[in-house]
Amino acid sequence: MSSRPRRTLVLAATLGAALAFGAPSALAGTLPVVPAAPFAAAKAPAAAPASQSATWAAGTRAYLVITAPGDNPSVRAAVAANGGTVFSDYAAIGVIVAHSASANFAGAMRGVTGVQQVGATRTSDVPADAYNPALPANPSQSTTPTGEPVRADMSQIKADQAWAVTTGSASVKVGILDTGVDDQHQDLAPNFNAADSVSCAYGKPDTRAGAWRDVGNHGTHVAGTVAAAKNGKGVVGVAPGVKISSVRIAEPGSSLFFPENTICGFMWSGDHGFKVTNNSYYTDPWQFNCPDNADQAAIIEGVRRAQEYAERKGSLQVAAAGNENYDLANKTVDTASPNDSTPVTRTITNACLDIPTELPGVVTVAANGEGTTKASFSNFGRGIIDVSAPGSNVYSTVPGGKYASMSGTSMASPHVAGVAALIASTNPGITPAQIREKLALQANDIACPSDSRCTGTTANNGFFGEGQVDALKAVGATPPPGRFFENLGDFAIGDHTTVESPITVTGVTGNAPATLKVGVKIVHTYIGDLKVDLIAPDGSIYTLHNRAGGSADNIDTVYTVNASSEAAAGTWKLRVNDNYRGDTGRIDAWNLTF
């Protein structure tokens, strides 16, 4: 589990399985037990294990050395000259993982020509296991009786209805970046892709067979929610026809997910063609990384570059929001960091980031409780949460052929990863940005409850984002009521300019309805500058937004227009006029529902 207490509460285990958790880590999706005595504080990694190498030395710490992308032999030479060794090198993004026992290493390297940032990734020593990693255990497997009833979480997001259309494509690969996966589990083995599985513990790929296996049970549980096979026994995942690969980024013993491990995982995902990755953790040891701290600034930059690399290669990252019932849009204090040594209480601001959850391009997932409620533990935040999914009492696979129920945003995130995999399956060639858009557009709106912490609109708010994901809509079987048309293309909005995005409507006879739904998503830093009109095929103008909202960012709203006098068929346009200088943006997406 990873450093933020995103731990999973084990509610039930079948077949007599006794599931015990090791030292707490930052697993995003796992809910701590109250009073959570066993999970109260993360423990530092144990002393040198039996597999220690002669190259290991007490006091060795890990560092990210950030340079310009490309080969940097002079920087690598400087690492050695300043008392360090290069443990791994990701030249494509300009990130070197260095080890050193010198207390002066970071300061010395920050003065080296070509070095942009340097940051320690831990406040504890690198374990000796990093130099000669032990393989995780391969557990013996229990036999599961036949029968796989549809679970409440699957029917809640209409996955069971989506399977009648498609169970997902075997050409779509989903990476499970987690504690590892039990690839021998009878419900996972049919869909497991060993060729693209790896351990990234300690920050470089370990491709030995079995290195990817679970050092806990969290990753196996997540994998089952994404893609457990539809084989007549156990459980069924959201996308039971896709392939899953394990990228173990948790270290044994501590179960922590350090920055170099996350970087390795994202780079592997991009290079191995993962269309989607699930990230139910936060990057240890800092629950929030603050850019005014040199170490944490380097962590932000290194992980950000790796995530962007994966996305450029076609991979969408889905991440859990966390389980502290914390407002991520109004950060004030962090009491859980660093979790690999002794946590301290520190004042923070919104500039401090939970990563990878808050990195640009990552889909951030909140947890629903029963039905469409907010799970009591789920983090929230206006402008942070993208979508929500079931995260309470989720029943899924655990190692050894067993099953258990767990709660947490770690359990919500793989539901969304599964829906994203279905979208990719039914839309070959789709980009990560387009999958993000479809997840948002096809989610079912959930209004704020009577809770002052929930801000925003029914269409987009701090508890549920764009709403709860819908697998049936994702496979295109049942579009929103009426015929649905959309344009996901980006159209830049410059200062004092007018831009139009078209949608051509075909196959709809007669006039448009009196309740034409116009979904608009505009990214802009001052919406008070904007006038937004819907232009009918005959040129009639329907004003949707007229320079309201002042300095607020972005328009993300569904408007209702009485267009009953307009012929439905033809080319409709969304026209945006920027009326003042200094702020720009883009039409991100828009749609029409007849």
If asked whether residues 96 and 193 sit together in one domain, one would say no
The pLDDT of residue 481: 55
Show the beta-strand stretches assigned E in 204-293: 243-248, 276-279
Give the pLDDT of residue 8: 47
Instruction: Provide the CATH number for the domain around residue 69.
Output: 3.30.70
Q: Is residue 1 part of a domain?
A: no
Q: Is residue 30 part of a domain?
A: no
Domain with 79 in it: 61-120
pLDDT category at 482 given cuts 50, 70, 90 is low
Question: How much is the average pLDDT of 490-500?
Answer: 92
Contacts of 252 (CB under 8 A, 6+ apart): 129, 134, 136, 201, 215
pTM reported for the whole predicted model? 0.77
| 56 domain residue, yes or no | no
Q: Is the pLDDT of residue 216 over 80?
A: yes
Confidence of residue 51 (pLDDT cuts 50, 70, 90): very low
Please tell me which residue, 500 or 56, carries the higher pLDDT value.
Answer: 500
pLDDT at position 439 = 96
> Active-site residue among 2, 410, 413, 425?
410
Query: Position of tokens 């993208």?
Result: 386
Identify whether 342 is part of a domain. no
Tell me what pLDDT residue 30 has.
Answer: 52
* 53-57, 168-172, 474-478, range with the lowest pLDDT: 53-57
- Are both 283 and 381 inside the same structural domain? yes
Q: What are phi and psi of 571, to 5 degrees?
A: -100, 115
563 in the same domain as 543: yes
Tell me which of 100, 124, 153, 218 is the catalytic residue: 218
In a domain? residue 180: yes
pLDDT of residue 294: 98
In a domain, 373, yes or no: yes
Residue 301 clears pLDDT 90, i.e. is over it: yes
Q: Rounded to an integer, what distance in angstroms lies between the CA atom of residue 359 and that of residue 328?
A: 13
User: Higher model confidence: residue 272 or residue 490?
Assistant: 272
524 is catalytic: no
Say if 145 falls within a structural domain: no
Confidence of residue 26 (pLDDT cuts 50, 70, 90): low
Report pLDDT digits (tens) over 58-80: 999 999 999 999 999 999 999 99
Alpha-carbon distance of 292 to 55, in angstroms, equals 34
Tell me what pLDDT residue 46 has.
35
Q: Which of 254-258, 423-427, 548-552 has the lowest mean pLDDT?
A: 548-552
pLDDT of residue 42 exceeding 50: no
Asked whether residue 231 falls in the same domain as residue 193, the answer is yes
**What is the reported pLDDT for 28?**
57
Q: What is the mean pLDDT of residues 306-334?
A: 97
Q: Is the pLDDT of residue 7 over 60?
A: no
Q: What is the CATH number of the domain that holds 507?
A: 2.60.120.260
Reported confidence tier of residue 510, pLDDT bands at 50, 70, 90: confident
Residue linked to tokens 């942070």: 384
Active-site residue (options: 125, 129, 178, 340) = 178
Task: Examine the pLDDT at 93 and tell me if it is beyond 50.
Answer: yes
Whether residue 164 sits in one domain with residue 73: no
Say if residue 20's pLDDT is above 90. no
The Cα 165–Cα 163 span in angstroms is: 5
CB 276 within 8 Å of CB 309? no
Which has the closest alpha carbon to 339: 393, 275, 258? 258
Position 173 scores a pLDDT of 98
Token pair listed for 183:
């690839």
Domain finish residue from 434, 452, 475: 475
For position 9, what pLDDT does the model report? 45
Q: How would you label 551-584 residue by residue, b for 16+ Cβ within 10 Å and e otherwise?
A: eeebbbbbbebebeebebbeebbbbbbbeeeebb
pLDDT bucket at 344, cuts 50 / 70 / 90: very high
Instruction: Decide which of 377 and 144 is more confident.
Output: 377
One domain for residues 94 and 239? no
Chain centre to alpha carbon of residue 1? 15
Total domains present in the chain: 3
Q: How many residues in total does the chain contain?
A: 594
Confidence class for position 552, pLDDT limits 50, 70, 90: confident
Q: Give the per-residue pLDDT at 14.
A: 37
Q: Does the pLDDT value for residue 57 go beyond 80?
A: yes
Task: With CA atoms as reference, report the closest residue to 367 among 131, 109, 28.
Answer: 28
Are 289 and 26 spatial neighbours (Cβ–Cβ below 8 Å)? no
Count of CB atoms within 10 A of residue 143's CB? 8
Check whether residue 363 and residue 463 sit in a common domain.
yes
Please give the Cα distance from 524 to 459 (Å, whole number).
Answer: 18
To the nearest whole number, what is the mean pLDDT of the chain?
Answer: 89
Please indicate, yes or no, whether residues 492 and 562 belong to a single structural domain of this protein.
yes
For residue 58, the surrounding DSSP H or E stretch is: none
Indicate if 456 and 515 belong to the same structural domain. Answer: no
Between 426 and 39, the higher pLDDT residue: 426
| Cβ partners under 8 Å of residue 511, min gap 6 | 563, 564, 565, 566, 567, 568
Is there a single domain that holds both residue 94 and residue 240? Answer: no
Average of per-residue pLDDT across 443-468: 96
pLDDT value at 296 more than 90: yes
- Output the pLDDT for position 550: 87
pLDDT per position as a tens digit, 126-163? 999 999 999 999 999 998 888 888 899 999 999 999 99
Residues 100 and 161 in one domain: no
| pLDDT reported for residue 40 | 25
The question of whether 99 is a catalytic residue gets the answer no
pLDDT band at 240 (very low <50, low <70, confident <90, very high): very high
Together in a domain, 175 and 249 = yes
Can you give the CATH number for the domain in which 390 is found? 3.40.50.200
Residues of the chain with pLDDT > 70, as a percent, come to 90
Which pLDDT score, from 0 to 100, does residue 56 have?
A: 77
Q: Is the pLDDT of residue 310 over 60?
A: yes
Q: Is 340 marked active-site? A: no
Does 44 reside within a domain?
Answer: no
Last residue of a domain, one of 426, 441, 475: 475
| pLDDT of the residue at 557 | 84
Q: What is the mean pLDDT of residues 375-389?
A: 97
Q: Which of 475, 503, 518 is the last residue of a domain?
A: 475
**Cα 212 to Cα 237: distance, rounded to the nearest angstrom:** 20
pLDDT value at 521 more than 70: yes
What is the Cα–Cα distance from 327 to 413, expressed in whole angstroms?
18
